[in-house]
Copies of this chain bind each other. A is one copy, B any other.
């Protein structure tokens, strides 16, 4: 069996978002990439999580051809592949329909940076994509979902905002590893929840200052990070 260690990491990322309550039934999928081999491991489509074993994961190349596995890959595979091809720093992608993040995606609204919990992970608002055009939906829908994400991130660093809301759909998150992508998906749901409640309390709540946003983001990320036992 190929990529045994990656399979385990990807399985664990899939299970983590389930344990954290982000997934109803099979509404989500996590993947990971081996950059050395140019191969991706992804959850199979529609398989219940409690039956999922490392050997059920599907291995594909970056064109989506199945290299190992008897099951069909997640229907969102093409979106994951677009992200891996465009964002060389990422090692994992996680897609969920988690409640608050999906509500923001359905509302078609960016999540403004209202607090330090947000700034610890996202350097600025959580972006929302444009809607896909009908022709982008009819042909190569999942691939075009990736493209609409790329358009939204053009000229920006995907590691500074490790997730996106696909409008009318749901979030995609990423990270250096599958575990980090799952962690970011969990935090995005929390950020989305906090902003939902903050704006209900005060619809004209202000975003935090650039200084505070930078302080928190850089305390956790980049060369000057000081959080944790590093």
Chain A interface (Cβ within 8 Å of chain B)? 24-27, 44-47, 71-72, 75, 97, 99-100, 102-109, 114-117, 131-132, 134, 137-138, 141, 168-170, 183, 186-187, 190, 193-202, 205-206, 208-212, 215, 219, 226-229
A-B contact pairs, 26 of them (CB 8 A): A25-B186, A25-B187, A45-B228, A46-B227, A47-B228, A99-B197, A100-B197, A103-B201, A104-B198, A104-B201, A106-B114, A106-B205, A107-B114, A107-B197, A107-B199, A108-B202, A109-B202, A115-B170, A116-B170, A131-B208, A131-B209, A134-B210, A134-B211, A137-B209, A137-B211, A137-B215
Does A106 lie within 8 Å of B229, measured CB to CB? no
Alpha-carbon separation in the docked complex, A132 to B209 (Å): 9
Alpha-carbon separation in the docked complex, A74 to B68 (Å): 45
| CB of A85, distance to nearest CB on chain B (Å) | 23
| CB of A168, distance to nearest CB on chain B (Å) | 4
Q: Which listed residue, B109, B168, B194, B205, touches A108 by the CB 8 Å rule?
A: B205
Does A199 lie within 8 Å of B201, measured CB to CB? yes
Copies of this protein chain in the complex: 4
Does A102 lie within 8 Å of B117, measured CB to CB? yes
Alpha-carbon separation in the docked complex, A69 to B25 (Å): 34
Does A138 lie within 8 Å of B106, measured CB to CB? no
| CB of A21, distance to nearest CB on chain B (Å) | 11
Q: Decide: A168 near B102, CB < 8 A? Known: A107-B202, A227-B46, A229-B72.
A: no
Q: Decide: A205 near B107, CB < 8 A? Known: A71-B229, A197-B196.
A: yes
Alpha-carbon separation in the docked complex, A104 to B100 (Å): 17
Q: Which listed residue, B102, B196, B215, touches A138 by the CB 8 Å rule?
A: B215
Q: Decide: A186 near B24, CB < 8 A? Known: A75-B226, A100-B197.
A: yes
Q: Which residues of B contact A131 (CB under 8 A)?
A: 208-209, 212
Q: Which of A26, A100, A102 has the most CB of B within 10 A?
A: A102
Which residue on chain B has the smallest CB distance to residue A195?
B106
